[in-house]
Amino acid sequence: VLTQSPGTLSLSPGESATLSCRASQNIRDSYVAWYQQKPGQAPRLLIYGTSMRATGIPDRFRGSGSGTDFILTISRLEPEDFAVYYCQQSSRSLPFGPGTKVEI
């Protein structure tokens, strides 16, 4: 089971966001991916392998962490970054967290 915090993050453009994802257990050899979803759109892969940026993702998105605690950091928020962010673990059943909404 993955939990994400906070549920909602209220920030202004130019500020930085720190999103947390915690796994209920440490599963060996598992990694975390992060997705961005805007209203009416499909999710978009941002980060895979815990810290690798997907193709075309700007370097203001940074993934980190290990074990049971993972972080997505968004530096210098742009207007297009306001969205819902999901973490997802590479373990059996490929679970997702409930999401963090980053709002203006």
Partner 1 sequence: QVHLVESGGGVVQPGGSLRLSCAASEFTFSNFGMHWVRQAPGKGLEWVAFIQYDGSKMYYADSVKGRFTISKDNSKNTLYLQMDSLRPDDTALYYCAKDPNPYDFWGGYFDQWGQGTLVTVSS
- Residues engaged in binding partner 1 (CB under 8 A): 30-31, 33, 35, 41-45, 48, 54, 86, 88-91, 93-99
Residue closer to partner 1 by CB (options 16, 24) is 24
Residue closer to partner 1 by CB (options 15, 100) is 100
Closest Cα to residue 66, out of 42, 46, 49, 45? 49
State the minimum distance, in angstroms, from the CB of residue 13 to partner 1: 26
Residue closer to partner 1 by CB (options 16, 64) is 64
Contact 27, 33 (CB under 8 A): no
State the minimum distance, in angstroms, from the CB of residue 32 to partner 1: 9
Which residue, chain included where needed, has tokens 């203001």? Answer: 60
